[in-house]
Amino acid sequence: MDQHGRRVALADFRGKVVVLTLLDPDCADICPVYAHQFRLAQEALGTDAGKVAFLAFNSNDEKTSIADVAAATKKWGVDRMSSWHFLTGSPDALRAVWRAYGVLGSGPPKPGRAHERQHSPSIFIIDQAGRRRWYLSAHFEGAPPASELIVRHVKALLGKL
């Protein structure tokens, strides 16, 4: 379910490039940064933004309500993105997704922030046929911002490079 309570499946986005990540609705450090990078990428894509869906899977199996992901969507300003979906579900359903993508979700509490859970800082770029094409990780010193990497890979899949 997304932040609006709608059922969403990856197959719903066939024909579009999908940019997918994991976010903790309680996170106060990297998750808001990733949300900001998604907004920047969508803006930079201009008219091509309509060919892209931006999705996040909930990475906190203790904050799984639609209200939790809806509040984070609004707090981080991604509610203005027309193709944004912050997906959540039962803890078992979320764990199945994390396993399928080979990522850590709902890991140990972050140091000094017991309500926030550690998780993989992952961004997946999925092509129009639903195949995972690229995996991007956290920003490293000297690397371009995530938004630039997202735009570069999306444009490659759209044949715009």
Q: What is the CATH number of the domain that holds 123?
A: 3.40.30.10
Residue type, 75: K
Interval 34-47 mean pLDDT: 94
Interval 4-18 mean pLDDT: 96
**For residue 140, what pLDDT band results from cuts at 50, 70 and 90?**
low
**pLDDT given at position 23:** 93
In a domain, 1, yes or no: no
In a domain, 104, yes or no: yes
pTM over 0.85: yes
- Between 19 and 138, where is the model more confident? 19
In a domain, 143, yes or no: yes
Interval 53-80 mean pLDDT: 95
76: containing domain: 10-157
Q: What is the pLDDT of residues 92-127, one digit of tens each?
A: 999 999 889 888 777 777 777 777 777 777 899 999
By percentage, how much of the chain surpasses pLDDT 90? 62
In a domain, 98, yes or no: yes
Domain count, the chain: 1
Burial of residue 90 (CB within 10 Å: 0-12, 13-18, 19+) is exposed
In a domain, 17, yes or no: yes
In a domain, 42, yes or no: yes
